[in-house]
Structure 1
Amino acid sequence: MSQEPGLVAGLVVPAPEGFSKRQRIELALENLTQADLARLALKFAAARSDIPLDEAGRKVLEADDPPLTQITRRDVARILGNDLAGERSTVEVVESYFPLSSPFEALFGSKGQSLRDRIARHMDHNPGDWSVEQLFGEIGAFDCSRARFGALLEQAVHPLSRSGDEQTKTVEALNRVLARDGYELAQDGEVSGHPLFSFRSLVRGVGGRPKNLIFASRGPKPEIGFADAINNDIVILSGEESCLIYDRPISASGLLWSELVSWWGDVTPGADAARLGARLQESLASDAERKLFAAYFKAYRSTLGEALPALLPQVYLHYDPAVVKTLRHRLPLPRQRMDFLLLLPSRQRVVIEVDGKHHFSENDLPSLKVYADMVSADRELRLAGYEVYRFGANELVGDGAEAKIKDFFDKLFRLHRIRQ
């Protein structure tokens, strides 16, 4: 076997003797994930200006992200009315992102008008013939990747298209609609004194879909392994009897208390919200944790009702790609247990830690190692997209504790647009 592999668009291709080029490529591809293949497709697409291939790759990479729905895209089109491109040609803006003619037209000509010709006729030469909503239907913008749709909006509000008050008002109107799905047009620079806008997620969230939540342990730490490494199905090897395991799909809107109560009623026939609350409290390890948990429900149970996010105590596993990779390599998790976890809309994950003296000491003596391990785990969680907030245990007991807890959650909910 040759020792010199080939390289195709960043792909290392082995060169065993007697293998055809096709066999060598298949050998190189067989161990790649779908995401790896999608990224490879994007490299080929960029090199060949292949829009359909680029689109296929982007849809794979966006599969686990919050969607930009057809409802939102239609409302975006209606905001733009009959004018996508403003001062620019609609064809100029659109053709960079959507194929407007087929290869057969280039080779053999077309008896009728191409899509490019029709857009030029109905939107550039005769403004008002087509609405932006009709244009989106013709080019496939209602079903395209989120990245492609976002890039089109960036051009629609580019200073070459719109400037001054028109640009400002258009961005504000679009953002009111985009925010429903967790996206926005945010200023990230300027050209000749005019703002430039980029399409992005409103807030950075955790990647991957939550799965196999293991929480509320009232006994020894559970030992976790894989039942099915391909589908990332988790199995508890020991300690299962002391934990709760939420195995239902969690949507982009997060996990609500009402959903947790519904699940509890199904797995524990006859149980209700009060019994679930009592079961969760059994897992709390200190008076400070019990105070935070009780104050949360006292402050928000009635005001938020069905929209109250579930406050999960003693979480041993919240599935995401980083955790799966760690488990597969049998490495220590960034944090063996989270005191509390909130799964909020747009994949926002909020970890709340209540720090007693064991966070800073070992055998009742101050320990720099224990402290270093704690702050290291915080860094890893934040880099993975989590927010981490810490309370000192002494903050959560005595007079003023409830007011401090409510003030924190009021600010947190405003930050994440949880309406009260």
Structure 2
Amino acid sequence: MSTDLRAKIANFFHPMSHAALDIEPFRIAGLEIPRGDGFAKSQRIDAALDNLSEMEMAKLALKLAQGRGDVALDEAGRKVLEADEPPLTRITRRDVARVFGDDLAGEADVIELVGRYFVISDPFEEVFGGSGRSLRNKIERHMVRNPGDCSVEFLFGEIGAFDCSRARFGALLQDTVHPLARSGEEQLRTVTALNKVLARDGYELAVDGDESGHPIYAFRPIVRGVEGRPKNLIFASRGPKPELGFADAINNDIVILSGEESCLVYDRPITAANGLLWSELVTWWSEQGSGGDAVSLGKRLQESLASDAERKIFATYFKTYRNSVADALPALLPQVYLHYDPAVVKMLRHRLPLIRQRMDFLLLLPGRQRVVIEVDGKHHFSEGEKPSLKIYSAMVSADRELRLAGYEVYRFGANELVGTGSEKVIQDFFDKLFRLHRVTKA
């Protein structure tokens, strides 16, 4: 139990009279203080707090702090509630400050913005005047009257932003990119730069609505991606389906039992920061001994495509984005075999068979986000020429398992991807997907 939090709550109640303790705690926060003739106020308060868990006490602190604007009490409660969440480190907060340089608030009033979340005024000075050394006066002198005197990094140290709760820090960031502070290209540039820093700790500023046509951003954890680092990336088979098994079930190492000559196997680390970029795939391809380049890699990947619809997606993707996105372009991997087609157990000897799974296309995006794209022809819903609930159910079941594992799954009907208008359908999809995942154009 946090003794600091408990002490702050007790100090909140202690100035109340016995009569007020009978009424006010319940009115403000739903907390009933035990009555008791002859008991001291501290004994009554302790008896009430003894019945609360640490989480209940933290929620109580937020209610009490809200009514009085008590930053210290609010912070004590929030830090307990956030204890099990991923940290937002001092290093990340420092680098966030450096994104702003010496301009935290843009077109907004920096004193008003900071004052919403941090104590910057001395009440004595506000009423009686004084030395002029309050934080408010420092900010006004060095960031308003003489902009450039003080960096945002220095300001964060002064106001306590390096150590405050994530909720308070995130709320401050939300306001710095509000349309009243930054709009248009400046807002987008700032959000993009901040998200590159925040992503290291698993957080982001994400669009959460709009106001007068301008996007409003909310600070939040990044949408859950797939846990762990990708392994066993086997793709682009242009021959028989590969048969796979576990070489090492403990370490999740895969062995290709047959069909290896038809596949490509990417065997390099894939980072959470980048995912897998087309430029990285080209570099890997050029070092395979054949001295291949991007053109030869593209031709090799096209050989694995199974339909006109798949070829249309692949061609349109690179035609549209190869130059505009440039080095940030994610690799579009075709015919990805992941835990596919178990061989007979006796053929695996002591190795374990794998669950059947194949993807038409896979994108490995930053932040462990993985996007599966499927192109559905009639064989996805029928057996022979007859509709088959069995086949459809197996497909839907596989989709569920992928989503539960953290993948995003998008399906196209094959008819959407051929004929007039198909390029626009594909471009519209990838434009929206890239905006969602912050894949930015060069």
Instruction: Tell me the TM-score normalised to structure 2 length.
Output: 0.57
Match of 2:283 among 259, 262, 276: 262
Match of 2:96 among 72, 76, 79: 72
Superposed CA deviations along residues 168-214 of structure 1, whole A, max 9, x for unmatched, are 645976745433345117769xxxxxxx9963146553333333321
In the TM superposition, what is the alpha-carbon distance from 1:295 to its structure 2 partner? Answer: 2.7
**Closer/same/farther in 2, CA of residues 46 and 243 from structure 1, 3 Å limit:** farther
State the SS of the aligned residue for 2:325. helix
In the TM superposition, what is the alpha-carbon distance from 1:359 to its structure 2 partner? Answer: 0.7
Structure 1: runs of 5 or more not aligned: 1-42, 93-120, 189-195, 319-328
The percent of aligned pairs where both chains have the same amino acid is 55
Match of 1:86 among 115, 130, 136: 115
Question: How far, CA to CA, are the matches of 1:124 and 1:221 in structure 2?
Answer: 67
Question: How far, CA to CA, are the matches of 2:172 and 2:323 in structure 1?
Answer: 43
**Closer/same/farther in 2, CA of residues 54 and 399 from structure 1, 3 Å limit:** closer
Letter paired with 1:213:
L
Given the alignment of the two structures, is residue 209 of structure 1 paired with residue 229 of structure 2, yes or no?
yes
- 2:302 alignment counterpart: 281
State the SS of the aligned residue for 1:241. helix
Question: How far, CA to CA, are the matches of 1:356 and 1:288 in structure 2?
Answer: 9
Question: How far, CA to CA, are the matches of 1:346 and 1:69 in structure 2?
Answer: 19
Question: How far, CA to CA, are the matches of 1:382 and 1:348 in structure 2?
Answer: 11
Residues 85, 155 of structure 1: 8 Å contact kept: no
- 1:151 alignment counterpart: 167
- 2:326 alignment counterpart: 305
State the SS of the aligned residue for 2:312. helix
Residues 212, 233 of structure 1: 8 Å contact kept: yes
Match of 2:430 among 403, 409, 418: 409
State the SS of the aligned residue for 1:151. helix
1:47-196 matches, cutoff 5 A: 68=92, 70-75=94-99, 78-80=102-104, 85-87=114-116, 89-90=118-119, 123=135, 133-134=153-154, 136=156, 150-154=166-170, 156=172, 169=180, 175=191, 177-181=193-197, 182=199, 183-184=204-205
Structure 2: runs of 5 or more not aligned: 1-52, 59-75, 122-132, 143-149, 210-215, 340-350
Q: CA RMSD in A?
A: 4.6
Residues 77, 136 of structure 1: 8 Å contact kept: no
Question: How far, CA to CA, are the matches of 1:356 and 1:187 in structure 2?
Answer: 36
- 1:316 alignment counterpart: 337
Question: How far, CA to CA, are the matches of 1:155 and 1:359 in structure 2?
Answer: 47
Letter paired with 1:249:
P
Instruction: Kindly tell me the number of residue pairs found equivalent between the two proteins.
Output: 319
In the TM superposition, what is the alpha-carbon distance from 1:220 to its structure 2 partner? Answer: 2.0
**Closer/same/farther in 2, CA of residues 87 and 223 from structure 1, 3 Å limit:** closer
Question: How far, CA to CA, are the matches of 2:377 and 2:274 in structure 1?
Answer: 32
Question: How far, CA to CA, are the matches of 1:157 and 1:414 in structure 2?
Answer: 20
- 2:19 alignment counterpart: none
In the TM superposition, what is the alpha-carbon distance from 1:292 to its structure 2 partner? Answer: 2.2
1:350-365 matches, cutoff 5 A: 350-365=371-386
State the SS of the aligned residue for 1:284. coil
Question: How far, CA to CA, are the matches of 1:278 and 1:418 in structure 2?
Answer: 25
In the TM superposition, what is the alpha-carbon distance from 1:122 to its structure 2 partner? Answer: 6.5
Question: How far, CA to CA, are the matches of 1:308 and 1:157 in structure 2?
Answer: 28
Residues 325, 440 of structure 2: 8 Å contact kept: yes
Superposed CA deviations along residues 341-394 of structure 1, whole A, max 9, x for unmatched, are 112233332211111222112244321011011122223323333222222223
In the TM superposition, what is the alpha-carbon distance from 1:140 to its structure 2 partner? Answer: 9.3
Question: How far, CA to CA, are the matches of 1:398 and 1:388 in structure 2?
Answer: 24
Match of 2:416 among 382, 395, 398: 395
Residues 330, 364 of structure 2: 8 Å contact kept: yes
Letter paired with 1:86:
G
Superposed CA deviations along residues 225-262 of structure 1, whole A, max 9, x for unmatched, are 153724x4444344333221112222323222121111
In the TM superposition, what is the alpha-carbon distance from 1:399 to its structure 2 partner? Answer: 3.9
Letter paired with 1:151:
A
Moved more, 128-137 or 360-369: 128-137
Given the alignment of the two structures, is residue 349 of structure 1 paired with residue 381 of structure 2, yes or no?
no
Given the alignment of the two structures, is residue 236 of structure 1 paired with residue 256 of structure 2, yes or no?
yes
